[in-house]
């Protein structure tokens, strides 16, 4: 299995604070890869480095042949990286369809005049975008909600819409930052099923930062464990669950 994302001795410091320290691991293409660790371990900082919100102090981040540690954030969608956020980042007054269409904005190439007249290429782009949105709505089983303002939906359904918007960007790799945080058990099970389908049916590599050890251990192919910014373990769920350093730092003794 080929490597899609590679972190090579990545370090990030903020003044005298080292948030991420010499982290190195590879994410195989077509896998579900989880990053876990206690609060303050550097997980979200690591995600922010991968999505070029700020550059690493040292090290390299390579995605599908691109040195993304040197890239601008807006370039990542063109490379094939999509992301959800720990805190909801939706347009609450817009409908489900409108929120999903935002994810396709980067695919619209027509000029303002053609778009305003809505003819030729602009019309074809709009039809194509709306067709893609309907496919995502069907995939995420939210057909009955398509025209509802997202702010009126439950928290779990709002997170599902945010997931759909990330899918609309057409990613090769999807970064999910605490996707099931705040969800009940039924909503968590639904998201776990969708993540598996995203990998199996859509062929998208998934990287998760997650605190819910149930979903992590059930669906991950490999897991990286951070503590105080450093990588303390990396391996399969069974290897991680029996690792003494991980048990002491995070999982706790049974």
Which of 66-102 are b and which e, b meaning 16 or more Cβ less than 10 Å from the residue's Cβ? bebbebeeeebbebbbbbbbeeeebeeebbbbebbbe
- Four-point Cα dihedral 116, 95, 207, 197, nearest 10: -110
Q: How many CA atoms lie within 13 A of 182 on its CB side?
A: 13
Residue in the block written with tokens 């805190």: 87
Q: What's the whole-model pTM score?
A: 0.88
pLDDT tens for the chain, residues 1 to 254: 799 999 999 999 998 899 999 999 999 999 999 999 988 899 999 999 999 999 999 999 999 999 999 888 888 988 999 999 877 778 889 999 999 988 876 655 555 555 554 555 666 777 777 888 899 999 999 999 999 999 999 999 999 999 999 999 999 999 999 999 889 999 999 999 999 999 999 999 999 999 899 999 999 999 999 999 999 999 999 999 998 888 887 766 54
106 close to 100: Cβ distance less than 8 angstroms: no
44 close to 18: Cβ distance less than 8 angstroms: no
Which three-class secondary structure state does DSSP give residue 43?
A: helix
Task: For residue 46, give Cα distances in angstroms to 52, 174, 225, 240.
Answer: 10, 14, 12, 19
Distance CA 144, CA 85 (A): 25
Query: Cα–Cα–Cα angle for 200, 89, 86, nearest 5°?
Result: 65
Q: Which of 154, 43, 158, 38 is nearest to 91 (CA)?
A: 158
First to last CA, the chain: 34
Ordered by start, the domain boundaries in the chain are: 3-80+171-251
Task: For residue 241, give Cα distances in angstroms to 83, 212, 223, 245, 249.
Answer: 27, 14, 10, 10, 12
pLDDT digits (tens, 9 = 90+) for 125-171: 777 778 888 999 999 999 999 999 999 999 999 999 999 999 999 99
Tell me, which fold does domain 3-80+171-251 have in CATH? Rossmann fold (3.40.50)
Which helix (H) or strand (E) segment is 218 a member of? Answer: helix 213-219
């Amino acid at each position: 299995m080929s490597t899609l994302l590679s972190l090579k001795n990545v370090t990030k410091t903020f003044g005298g604070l080292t948030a991420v320290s010499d982290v190195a691991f590879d994410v195989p293409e077509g896998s579900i890869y989880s990053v876990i660790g206690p609060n303050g371990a550097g997980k979200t900082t690591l995600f922010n480095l991968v999505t070029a919100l700020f550059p690493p102090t040292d090290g390299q981040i390579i995605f599908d042949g691109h040195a993304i540690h040197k890239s601008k954030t807006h370039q990542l969608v063109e490379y094939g990286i999509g992301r959800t956020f720990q805190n909801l980042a939706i347009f609450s007054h817009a409908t489900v369809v409108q929120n999903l269409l935002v994810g396709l904005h980067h695919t619209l190439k027509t000029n303002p005049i053609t778009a305003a007249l809505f003819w030729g290429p602009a019309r074809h782009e709009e039809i194509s975008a709306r067709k893609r949105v309907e496919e995502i709505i069907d995939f995420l089983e939210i057909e009955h909600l398509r025209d509802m303002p997202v702010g009126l939906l439950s928290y779990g359904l709002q997170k599902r819409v945010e997931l759909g918007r990330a899918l609309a960007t057409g990613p090769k790799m999807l970064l999910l930052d605490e996707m099931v945080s705040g969800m009940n058990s039924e909503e968590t099970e639904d998201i776990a099923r969708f993540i598996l389908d995203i990998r199996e049916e859509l062929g998208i590599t998934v990287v998760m930062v997650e605190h819910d050890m149930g979903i992590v251990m059930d669906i991950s192919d490999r897991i990286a464990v951070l503590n105080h910014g450093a990588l303390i373990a990396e391996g399969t769920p069974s290897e991680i669950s029996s690792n003494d350093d991980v048990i002491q730092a995070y999982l706790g003794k049974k």
